A and B are shown apart, each in its own frame.
Chain A
Amino acid sequence: MKPLVLEKEQAGHWLKGLCNNFDIFAPLPTDKGYSDWQKWDGGDLFDVAKGVPKSSIKTFFFPQPEVLFQFNARASAPDAFRLREPKCQDKPRILFGVRPCDARSVVLNSMPYEEDPYFQKRIQETFIVGFLCREGCSTCFCKWTGGSPTGTEGMDVAAIDLGQVLYVEILSDKGKRLVGNGFFRSPTKDEETEAKDFVEKAKGQALDQDVASILRSKGLMHLYDAPFWNSVSEPCINCGTCTFLCPTCYCFDIQDETLRGKGRRIRYWDSCMFPLFTQHASGHNPRGDKLKRVRNRFMHKLKYFPDRFGPISCVGCGRCVRDCPVNIDIRQVLRSLLEI
């Protein structure tokens, strides 16, 4: 489809027209001094800092918690303890202003979740309007992970901010459903040139090494037994912040809950940083020490995942770098693994 242009002052009107059929979320300023994903209330959409919002968009595909089943927990009831699938009543959602790293995380997470009906259902019902990055942050490193500031993987619509207007490309059938109304026009020659220049320039700055294939080619135990894991893990306090903020940390726990006769089986985010993650009922723990847990997180992202699926399980959003309380830096770990 040909690219289109949307005047920024029209964006709100365009989205309002979609509100009947969609819930719309965008990274909006919070009173805590950072921007984060919130339901759009019709206000200003472009008062957003560069880089990524505080939390990733995994919560839209992998909610905290996801109800897998419901059941009647009264033993006397005829249907007592029979698992029923919940009826999902959420409206389809538009995520407006998704950065290329976050959009790509959805594609990566879909690989292990290929046969997960809950996750796939949410993918079908979520429409991603991406914003390519004209400016990076000091913590961004998407190019190292196989992504790019102009990457459109995972997006239904990709927008480039040209100041007064958004230059918009439609990338999927879902995307077509969003731009069907009259707010868009064809780009002028100048707009087209500016957008193309921006994309070409980013291409010129691409990394000339394929990090994932280098890591795949290295021996598993060579990396596992590397001498630096002790120094990498030493400051870690196993708080799990990295895993909760990470768009591609997708591990979960399943628990049953009952309250006043109602029961549900839920899944919610878990973290391989926690000792209980692997503890057997016998008390034996295969990853009982911190070093093993820290190593597992990095090895999963940078070796186990690529060995299984191809790409590394990191999109370079830099959230873990930004918010780690003890300044553990995945970029440093990545460099060490590439060098060894």
Chain B
Amino acid sequence: MRFDASEEVTMNPYLPYSAVIDDIFVETEDGNLKTFRIVLENEEDRRNWTHRPGQFAMLSIAGKGEIPIGIASSPTEKGHLLFTVNRAGVVTTALHKMNVGDPIGVRGPLGNGFPVDSELKGKNIVIIAGGFAFTTLRATLIYMLEHRGDYENITVIYGARTPGMLLYKDELKQWQERDDLNVYITVDREAPGWDGLVGFVPTIAGQVKPSPENAAALICGPPIMIKFTMPPLEEVGWRNDQVYLSLENRMKCAIGICGHCNVGPVYVCKDGPVFTRAEVQRLPVEF
């Protein structure tokens, strides 16, 4: 940021990159989830952009505000960013009304992300997701498939209420056809035309019984799903420090100053959003 006429230019961490909505895709049958493909305006910014799966960005709509949204694209997908957004509040509602070509701001990447290049390397990976919490796990999965040799077995358990509420349906099909990936897609109850698994995510996790041997689980979903997914995992020997969760809280600055997202002494925006379950259990339940 240029505060005065001097040569020194300091970065203003509150200033978003200017960007444009390049494509919009309605993900779910209720129309409440859309994926926005966003392209940074400046070519140099596009080239320099790099993030880790599990990180998020603040999407900025001048006049409405900013919202923290997980980055759904992998850093290996160059040239654009994907954000899958649930319509819930003022900014997301405004975003859902926007069109291809509309300007938008992106501030990020923010937070820590999943340790895909450190702790997770060489491990058996179990990805468990429910509902629309699959977004940063999509980024993670794409990244891991691009670096397939760095990880052992990869298992994906993903569920939604109905077939029409699943995200990334085309990609799910492609992943199911791969032989280097175990994919379990489930819906809460029987639905016309659905010939896949039926049952809640915790139930399916109990049936799959992923081995905790040299393994890490990445779990994202509604708190109730996470709560009931843990017992079947613990039953087969999973420890809390093998389980990675991504927390969310209300955020404003997203750089650890404004005080909104703290869970005890940690800030979800700066120290998270990814924590091991062991770390989370040492903290107050304020998320």
Residue B18 at the chain A interface, CB threshold 8 Å: yes
Q: Is the beta-carbon distance between B2 and A254 smaller than 8 angstroms?
A: no
Min CB distance B81 to A, Å, is 19
Q: Is the beta-carbon distance between B249 and A303 smaller than 8 angstroms?
A: no
Q: Which residues of A contact B265 (CB under 8 A)?
A: 220, 303-304, 307-308
Residue B15 at the chain A interface, CB threshold 8 Å: yes
B238-257 vs A, CB cutoff 8 Å, 1 = contact: the mask equals: 00000000001110110111
Instruction: Identify which of A71, A267, A278, A292 contacts B62 (C-beta below 8 A).
Output: A71
A251-279 vs B, CB cutoff 8 Å, 1 = contact: the mask equals: 11111101000010101001010000111
The residue of chain B having its C-beta at the shortest distance from the C-beta of A124 within the complex is B3
Q: Which residues of B contact A224 (CB under 8 A)?
A: 264, 284
Q: Which residues of B contact A253 (CB under 8 A)?
A: 252, 258, 260
Q: Is the beta-carbon distance between A82 and B62 smaller than 8 angstroms?
A: yes
Total chain A interface residues with beta-carbon distance under 8 A: 48
Q: Please report the C-alpha to C-alpha distance between residue A125 and residue B174 in the assembled complex, in whole angstroms.
A: 59
Give the segment of A115-123, A173-181, A188-196, A202-210 that binds chain B: A115-123
Q: Is the beta-carbon distance between A73 and B63 smaller than 8 angstroms?
A: yes
Q: Please report the C-alpha to C-alpha distance between residue A278 and residue B285 in the assembled complex, in whole angstroms.
A: 13
Q: Please report the C-alpha to C-alpha distance between residue A322 and residue B18 in the assembled complex, in whole angstroms.
A: 47
The residue of chain A having its C-beta at the shortest distance from the C-beta of B90 within the complex is A281
Q: Is the beta-carbon distance between A256 and B64 smaller than 8 angstroms?
A: yes
Q: Which residues of chain B (1-49) have a CB below 8 Å from chain A?
A: 1-3, 10-16, 18
Q: Which residues of chain B (149-190) have a CB below 8 Å from chain A?
A: none
The residue of chain A having its C-beta at the shortest distance from the C-beta of B67 within the complex is A281
Q: Is the beta-carbon distance between B88 and A281 smaller than 8 angstroms?
A: yes
A108-119 vs B, CB cutoff 8 Å, 1 = contact: the mask equals: 000011011100
Min CB distance A21 to B, Å, is 16
Q: Which residues of B contact A73 (CB under 8 A)?
A: 62-63
Q: Is the beta-carbon distance between A304 and B65 smaller than 8 angstroms?
A: no
Min CB distance B238 to A, Å, is 23
Q: Which residues of chain B (78-128) have a CB below 8 Å from chain A?
A: 88-89, 92, 103, 105
Contacts A265-B62, A307-B265 known; A252 to B253 CB distance under 8 Å? yes
Q: Which residues of B contact A255 (CB under 8 A)?
A: 65
Q: Please report the C-alpha to C-alpha distance between residue A205 and residue B256 in the assembled complex, in whole angstroms.
A: 37
Contacts A121-B3, A253-B258, A304-B265 known; A81 to B284 CB distance under 8 Å? no
Q: Which residues of B contact A272 (CB under 8 A)?
A: 259
Q: Is the beta-carbon distance between B259 and A300 smaller than 8 angstroms?
A: yes
What range describes how many residues of B lie at the interface? 35 or more
Q: Please report the C-alpha to C-alpha distance between residue A304 and residue B255 in the assembled complex, in whole angstroms.
A: 17
Q: Is the beta-carbon distance between B286 and A277 smaller than 8 angstroms?
A: no
Q: Which residues of B contact A258 (CB under 8 A)?
A: 63
Q: Is the beta-carbon distance between A296 and B3 smaller than 8 angstroms?
A: no
The residue of chain A having its C-beta at the shortest distance from the C-beta of B2 within the complex is A85
Residue A299 at the chain B interface, CB threshold 8 Å: yes
Min CB distance B18 to A, Å, is 7
Contacts A83-B62, A220-B265, A277-B250 known; A117 to B3 CB distance under 8 Å? yes
Residue A280 at the chain B interface, CB threshold 8 Å: yes
Residue A340 at the chain B interface, CB threshold 8 Å: no
Q: Please report the C-alpha to C-alpha distance between residue A251 and residue B14 in the assembled complex, in whole angstroms.
A: 15
Instruction: Identify which of B1, B103, B262, B283 contacts A117 (C-beta below 8 A).
Output: B1
- 5 further A-B contacts with Cβ under 8 Å, apart from A280-B248, A280-B249, are A85-B3, A220-B265, A221-B282, A250-B257, A278-B260
**Footprint of A on B, CB under 8 Å?**
1-3, 10-16, 18, 60-66, 88-89, 92, 103, 105, 248-250, 252-253, 255-260, 262-265, 282-287
Query: Can you list 21 A-B contacts with CB-CB less than 8 angstroms, sorted by A residue number?
Result: A71-B62, A73-B62, A85-B2, A85-B15, A88-B3, A115-B13, A115-B255, A116-B257, A117-B11, A250-B259, A251-B259, A252-B257, A252-B259, A256-B62, A278-B286, A281-B88, A281-B89, A281-B92, A292-B286, A296-B262, A304-B262
10 closest Cβ contacts across the A-B interface?
Answer: A251-B259, A281-B89, A281-B88, A304-B265, A81-B62, A286-B286, A307-B265, A254-B252, A71-B62, A258-B63
**Footprint of B on A, CB under 8 Å?**
68-69, 71, 73, 80-83, 85, 88, 112-113, 115-117, 121, 220-221, 224, 250-256, 258, 263, 265, 267, 270, 272, 277-282, 286-287, 292, 296, 299-300, 303-304, 307-308
